[in-house]
Each structure stands twice: as structure tokens, then as C-alpha cells.
Amino acid sequence: MELTQKIRQTDIEPHMSALQGWLRNNITGMYAGRKRKNGKKTEQWAIVMHVQQKKSPDRLALDGDTPIPPYFELPISISGGKTEMVKVPTDVVEVGAFVTKQMPQPMVSTDRVRPAPGGYQIQAQGCPLVGTLGGSITINNQYRMLSNNHILSWNGQFTHIFQPDARDPQNALADVSGFVNMVTYPTSNQQNPVYNQTDLAWCNVTQEQCAPQIQGIGVPVGFAAPAVNMQVRCFGASTDEVIQATIESIQFRTISMMLNNQYAWFQNCLLLEGEDFFPLAGDSGALLINNNMQIVGILAGWNAIAGPWGCLIPTQLIQ
């Protein structure tokens, strides 16, 4: 069993499901990525672990956390259809405490706009947070406005959506038509959690309510599958400008703290990076648009220091 620099990202990714049991407590994210040295990427592929805090062995023992080993032994395919046990290194990255990117009240209202384009602030009546109207597009023969479940609905807790916020009845925009259910838990130490695939809800609307264009970007022409190294853009209500990123992984796994201190596990997410990619609280729900003006995902959250991430949009589930 040798540690090798010849392994690729695609060699590691099939084994990530078997390792995702590590994702709890202090470990908040994991993916197959480049190992970093002195903050810079090397040519060595590794199993990258996001932790809230790097801890000493004594502190790990005190907190009940399992130390992350320097490598995992994985069966990697080699020429001739055979497999070889390979020592795949780990890379531990401190990313800070759990956080989700919504803006709590009180907040400064943005403009009320009708029809409302993508990128403007929205709020569900009864929800203490605001987020971003991602965009509006026809899906399954119905024109629909898209944003996060944790912005629009919280699994059906909220129904009435306002733009820019719910403090004025005249700001009423639309009602929630559906959402993809999100499974949450009261602790980040849940054993064998159900992994969510997306954070998505929608409203059936008309073009008099919601415009098809996204601020600063234009009108999306449809959907496309994301890919590693793909460049994407989004427009968040709080950032109030186009921000750009590159997709680092399309199989990112993470834990996110949700409303009422509930925790949700996610898999097959889009890990984003970029020197100027700094979303703000309230940007959740922004659509991720590639250079061909296609929607490839939706911004969902990130940690305090690193790891902005988004979800896929499973259009087949939108009815």
C-alpha cells in the first residue's frame, strides 16, 4: 500500500459515500480535492475534511471527537481491471463555526419591484429571515419562481412570500406552490442521518409578478449539469452585484445549521471557490448561472471562513 500522487479526483469520489460517516460534530464538510500546502493547492489529490476548529489530541478526546487519520486506505482501480490498496492522504481545513447565510431582522428594506427579477430580496410571512429571489423560468409547462426551501417555506411552515419584506401587506408577491422536503436533526452528532439532495422551493407565478431576467446577468435559457472547473455567476440580494466563482467539486458533502438550531446533512452539492466570491447574509437562494446562461444550481450556504456551496435543482421533482 503506497501513498501515490498518481491518483485522480475520479478515483477517490466513488469511495466518499463509505467515508461520510465521519461527517458530524466538528467535521462539517468533505470532498475529493487538491491537498493544500501553505494555503496553496498542490498536485496531490486528497480527501479534504472541513472542520469547525483544528484541535489538539487532548482537546479532541475531551470533546469526544475522533482524530482524522493522515490517510485512508482505499481500493483504487489500476490498469488491467485490477484494484490496489492506496494510501489516500487527508487534508484538514479549518472553516469556522456552522452558519447559514440569511439576514435576520431588523434589516434595511430594498426596493419593491414588479415584476420582480431575480436577485431581489424576499421574505416569507412569519419567517424572521430574508433571502434572495433566485429567478423565474418555465419548468414542466409552468412559469415558476425559485429560491431555497429554507427561505420560502421551511417544509411548509411558511406560505406567503413578500418582496422586499413582509412588513407591508402591499409587498405581497406570491404563495409557495411546492418544496423539496428537507430532513433535519436537533444535533450535529446524528448517527446515520438522511442526506438531503437540495434546498429548494418554488412559487407558481406570472410574468406580471416575476420577471424572467436576473439582475446584472440576464435571462437564463434553461438548465445544465454542473462540472468541476465550470465558471458560474450569481446575484445575491445583499451583495447587490454579480459575483463569480468556480466549481471545485460536484460531490461536496456538508452539514448546515438551519432555522431553530436544526442541522441538515447534504450530499452531491457544488463546492464553490473564487478570489472575489464573498456572498453575504441574505444571498441564499441566488441561482448559479454558467457562461452559456444556463442554471446549474442554487446558492444554499457556507461556513464562516470557507466553503460556499450550492445545491442542484432537480426539475423532475417540481410539479
Domains located in the chain, CATH noted: 2-94 (no CATH), 103-317 (2.40.10.120)
Q: What whole-number distance in Å separates Cα of residue 137 and Cα of residue 179?
A: 16
Confidence of residue 1 (pLDDT cuts 50, 70, 90): very low
Check residue 250 and give its pLDDT: 96
Q: What whole-number distance in Å separates Cα of residue 122 and Cα of residue 175?
A: 12
Three cell numbers written together for 168 = 407591508
Range 251-263 average pLDDT: 90
Range 13-35 average pLDDT: 94
Return the ∠ at Cα 168 (arms to 165 and 170), rounded to 5°. 100
- Cβ proximity of 34 and 43 under 8 Å: yes
Confidence of residue 306 (pLDDT cuts 50, 70, 90): low
C-alpha dihedral (18, 23, 27, 30), degrees to nearest 10:
50
Kindly tell me if the per-residue pLDDT of 72 is higher than 70.
yes
- Cβ proximity of 29 and 13 under 8 Å: no
For residue 73, the one-letter residue type is E
Q: What whole-number distance in Å separates Cα of residue 283 and Cα of residue 277?
A: 12
φ, ψ dihedrals at 57, nearest 5° = -55, -40
Q: What percent of the chain has pLDDT over 90?
A: 76
Of 1-10, 28-37, 246-255, 258-267, the range with the lowest mean pLDDT is 1-10
Rg for the chain (alpha carbons), in Å?
A: 20
Mean pLDDT of the chain: 91
Q: What whole-number distance in Å separates Cα of residue 214 and Cα of residue 171?
A: 19
Give the containing element (helix H, strand E) for 29: strand 27-37
Q: What whole-number distance in Å separates Cα of residue 246 and Cα of residue 280?
A: 17
Q: 159-195, pLDDT tens digit by residue?
A: 999 999 999 999 999 999 999 999 999 999 999 999 9
Check residue 135 and give its pLDDT: 98
Kindly tell me if the per-residue pLDDT of 145 is higher than 90.
yes
Q: How far is CA 128 from CA 3, 104, 204, 239, 285, in A?
A: 50, 6, 23, 19, 16
For residue 184, the one-letter residue type is T
Confidence of residue 33 (pLDDT cuts 50, 70, 90): very high
φ, ψ dihedrals at 97, nearest 5° = -75, 165
Q: What whole-number distance in Å separates Cα of residue 121 and Cα of residue 102?
A: 11
Of 4-18, 113-127, 156-170, 203-217, the range with the lowest mean pLDDT is 4-18
Residue 135 C-alpha from the chain's centroid = 17
DSSP code of residue 155: T
Q: 78-108, pLDDT tens digit by residue?
A: 776 788 899 999 999 998 876 554 455 545 5
Check residue 253 and give its pLDDT: 96
DSSP code of residue 218: B
Kindly tell me if the per-residue pLDDT of 74 is higher than 90.
yes
Check residue 301 and give its pLDDT: 86
At 1 the three-state DSSP class reads: coil
Check residue 106 and give its pLDDT: 43
C-alpha dihedral (27, 238, 33, 12), degrees to nearest 10:
70
Strand partners, 136: 145
Number of CB atoms found within 10 A of residue 19's CB: 18
Check residue 156 and give its pLDDT: 96
Three cell numbers written together for 3 = 501513498
